Chains A and B, each alone.
Chain A
Amino acid sequence: MTGTAAGTDVTVTLRLPPSAAHVRTARLIAAAMARRSGVGEEILDEVRLAVGEACARAVRMQERQGMAAPVTVEFAETGRFRVSVVDGAKTGSGDELTAMANGAGAPAPWADPSGDALGLALLGAVVQDLVVDQEADGGTRVTMSWPLI
Chain B
Amino acid sequence: MDLTLNSHDQAGHTVLAVSGEVDVYTAPALRDRIADLLDSGQHRLVIDLGGVEFLDSTGLGVLVAGLNRAREVGGSLSLVCPQERVLKLFRITGLDEVFTVYSTVDEALAGSSAG
Contacts and interface: CB of A to CB of B under 8 A. Distances in A.
B61 interface: yes
A45 B61 CA distance: 20
A48 B54 contact: yes
A12 interface: no
Interface in A100-149: 108-110, 115, 118-119, 121-122, 125-126
Give the interface size class of chain B.
10 to 19
Main secondary structure of the interface of A (DSSP, over half): helix
Given A118-B57, A122-B57, A24 B95 contact: no
Given A118-B57, A122-B89, A110 B94 contact: yes
Contact of B92 (A20, A115, A121): A121
Contacts of B92: 121-122, 125-126
Give the interface size class of chain A.
20 to 34
Nearest to B92: A125
Contacts of B95: 110
Interface of B: 2, 21, 23-25, 54, 56-58, 60-61, 64, 85, 89, 92-95, 98
Interface of A: 20-21, 23-24, 27, 45, 48-49, 52-53, 56, 59-60, 108-110, 115, 118-119, 121-122, 125-126
